[in-house]
Amino acid sequence: MELQEEIVTSEPTASSMQWSAVFAGAAIATALSVVFLTFGTAIGLSFVSPWSGSRWSPKTIASIAVFWALAQQIGSVIAGGYIAGRMRSRLVGVPDHEVEFRDGLHGGAVWAVSVLVTTLVFSLAIGAIARGGADVAGRAAGGAAAAGSSSSTTDPVQYFADVLMRDGRAAPGGGPAPAVAQTVGDATWQQGEVIRILARSVAADTLAPGDRDYLATVVARRTGTPQADAEKRVDQVFAQTQQTVKDAAEKARRGAVLTGFVTAAGLILSLGAGWWAGQRGGHHRDNAVPASFVAIRRRVA
């Protein structure tokens, strides 16, 4: 009697893509990511201290932040991918390598959905913060205008404009000399004019001869210093302003580049992790491996 090999030709009993399992895994991955980010933020704030000598260096904190950002993203996608692969219905009549691919695809779909949801949430949050910040800035600007002051303590050009207009004369006894008599409105307008000239010159990367002569004249009249000294002060302050603005721009550029590389690396690594986790979840489903947080190895007697 000859034994004939039975060939399975039936169609799969379940859909190739089960979005319910994908959405469940993506929801868990997103929720875990929020929890891990909140926990990491709390830990990061505990490292920061206003007291000198009792806080960690900025490089150390930045390194820890980058590590945690990558770890939380990969860990949350692994959990969601595993759940999606485990919850997906078992396929009948499909080769093992195809089942493994589809399980991994479910893990990758969890990664894609969670990334889209996170991007949408962050976009809405950033938009709300930007609108709120613009409203606060508008009210602050209105209050400053009402008070007759347009200065900003965080503007480097504002600071160097103040440096430029400092009185260089020495009063008897070593104290500062009284400023040249000037109304508040004139002083405010003149200071704003100096800021605009410096800002435009820094953007153009050059101080036009006419602007230089005008600034030197204003400084000489305002501070009571000789014209030659006023010109030297203008050149020195303009060079300092240029350097400060360039350093700030370079620091921002490096930060943006680093953030982009870390984000891209985290996304690629989390995609691979989600794919692998989906395959592991499907493998445990097909082999009836009990789901537990602690892996227990049993020796077969």
Same-domain check for residues 57 and 98: yes
With a threshold of 0.85, does the pTM exceed it?
A: no
In a domain, 301, yes or no: no
CA dist 284 and 190 (Å) reads 75
**Co-location of 139 and 263 in the same domain:** yes
Among residues 198, 216, 247, which one ends one of the domains? 247
The contacts of residue 212 (CB under 8 Å, 6+ apart) are 231, 234, 235, 238
155 and 46 share one domain:
no
Same domain, 218 and 203: yes
Do 162 and 195 have their domain in common? yes
Structural domain contains residue 253: no
296 lies in some domain:
no
pLDDT value of position 7: 41
Other residues' Cβ atoms within 10 Å of the Cβ of residue 85: 31
Instruction: Tell whether 23 and 133 lie within a shared domain.
Output: yes
Residues 34 and 160 in one domain: no
Q: 276: closest CA among 6, 17, 85?
A: 85
In a domain, 1, yes or no: no
pLDDT averaged per 10 residues, the chain (length 301) = 42 68 92 87 72 68 83 92 90 84 92 88 66 52 42 54 54 40 56 80 84 84 85 89 87 85 88 93 86 51 42
CA distance 110 to 281: 13
On whether residue 76 sits in a domain, the answer given is yes
Instruction: Render the burial of 148-172: b for 16+ CB within 10 Å, e for the rest.
Output: eeeeeeeebbbbbbeebbeebeeee
**Which pLDDT does position 113 carry in this prediction?**
93
Strand partners for 170: 176
Amino acid 111: pLDDT? 94
Cα separation, 271 vs 81, in Å, equals: 9
pLDDT score recorded for residue 5: 42
Residue 160's domain comprises 151-169+179-247
Task: Tell me: do 221 and 134 sit in the same domain.
Answer: no
Flag whether 106 is in a domain. Answer: yes
Q: Per-residue pLDDT tens for 61-118?
A: 778 888 888 898 899 999 999 999 998 888 777 888 888 999 999 999 999 999 898 8
Residue 10 placed within a domain? no
**Residue-level pLDDT at 204:** 82
Does residue 57 sit within a domain? yes
Q: Same domain, yes or no, for 133 and 227?
A: no
Q: Extract the tokens encoding 59.
A: 């490089």
Same domain, 79 and 127: yes
Question: Same structural domain for residues 120 and 266?
Answer: yes
Dihedral over Cα of 224, 227, 233, 237: its sign:
positive
Total number of domains constituting the chain: 2
- Angle among Cα 40, 45, 47 to the nearest 5 degrees reads 100
One domain, residues 212 and 82: no
